[in-house]
Amino acid sequence: MDSVAQFVRQAYVSLETYRKNGVAVATPVWFAESEPGVFYAYSEAAAGKVKRIRNNPDVRIAPCTMRGRVTGEWVAARARIVEGAESIARAHQLLRRKYALKRLFDLFRGFSDKPRAVIEIRVARP
C-alpha cells in the first residue's frame, strides 16, 4: 500500500514527536491534506508537541483512533510550524472543511486568549 493512501478518509493521525532525550511522544490530532503527502494540524502554541517540533522536525505519523490507537503503518515525515497569515488561513480552511466541529471550536476560540500554531507535516519520500 502507498504510505500516503492509508490516510484517506481517516479522522485522526498519531503525530509522534521526540523529546530532547530522544523519547518519542505520540499524540492523536485532527489533520487535513492539502496535497498528497502534505498534511496540516493545529494545536495550542505552548503545547509540548509544538515545542518538540521546533527542537526536532523529524516526526512519524500513522492513522489512529480518537484515543490514539494506531490503525496503520508509521510513516517518516518532517514537520514545521507554519508562518505567514495566508498559509495559516489556508490550513484552517482545509481543517474546517473536513471537521464540522472545528467550525464550532473556532466560534468559541474568540473567548480564549491562547495562541494557536499550525503544523505542516510532509511525508518523507523514499
Residue 20's pLDDT is 95
Q: What is the topology classification, in CATH, of domain 5-123? A: Pnp Oxidase; Chain A (2.30.110)
Buried b / exposed e across 70-103, counting CB within 10 Å, b at 16+? bebeebebebebbeeeeebebbbebbbeeeeebe
Which residue in the block uniquely carries the three cell numbers 517518516?
A: 76
Domain ranges of the chain: 5-123
Summarize the confidence of residues 92-108 as an average pLDDT: 67
- With 80 as the cut, is the pLDDT of residue 108 above it? no
Q: What is the pLDDT of residues 70-91, one digit of tens each?
A: 999 999 999 999 988 878 788 8
CA gap 38, 118 in Å, rounded:
13
CA gap 1, 30 in Å, rounded:
22
DSSP designation for 125: P
Residue 115's pLDDT is 75
- Give this prediction's pTM: 0.84
Q: What is the pLDDT of residues 52-64, one digit of tens each?
A: 999 999 999 999 9
Q: What is the pLDDT of residues 6-53, one digit of tens each?
A: 999 999 999 999 999 999 999 999 898 888 899 999 888 899 999 999
Q: Mean pLDDT for the chain?
A: 86
CA gap 88, 69 in Å, rounded:
28
